[in-house]
């Protein structure tokens, strides 16, 4: 099975690199949202940013649980639907 298909890399170096890349991407996205909020936004734009922030709040614990599953080499947990990890859902 190629590494691109595998959810949890069985090689610790690749797994750790994947986790680091995911964390960096999530931080960069959060930083971009914070930067956008510094500008004058219309009501519609503020609404969209609020929706994005709500979705990110739901995703943060899921990301942590997926990373923990990856570190534990628990491919079944990593493959599980994100809904089973979610503790809250947006309205």
More reliable by pLDDT, 36 or 10: 36
SS3 assignment, position 80: coil
Q: Return mean pLDDT, the chain.
A: 81
Report the alpha-carbon angle 66-72-74, nearest 5: 70
pLDDT at 62: 87
Per-residue pLDDT band for 13 (boundaries 50, 70, 90) equals confident
Q: What is the pLDDT of residues 57-66, one digit of tens each?
A: 999 988 888 8
pLDDT at 24: 92
pTM (two decimals): 0.69
What gap in Å lies between CA 29 and CA 58, rounded to an integer? 15
């Amino acid at each position: 099975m190629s590494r691109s298909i595998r959810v949890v890399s069985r090689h610790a170096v690749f797994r750790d690199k994947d986790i680091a890349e995911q964390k960096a991407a999530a931080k960069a996205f959060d930083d971009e949202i914070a930067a956008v909020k510094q500008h004058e936004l219309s009501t519609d734009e503020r609404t969209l940013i609020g929706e994005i922030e709500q979705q990110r709040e739901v995703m943060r614990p899921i990301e942590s649980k997926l990373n923990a599953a990856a570190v534990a080499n628990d491919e079944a947990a990593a493959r599980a639907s994100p809904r089973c990890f979610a503790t809250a859902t947006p309205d």
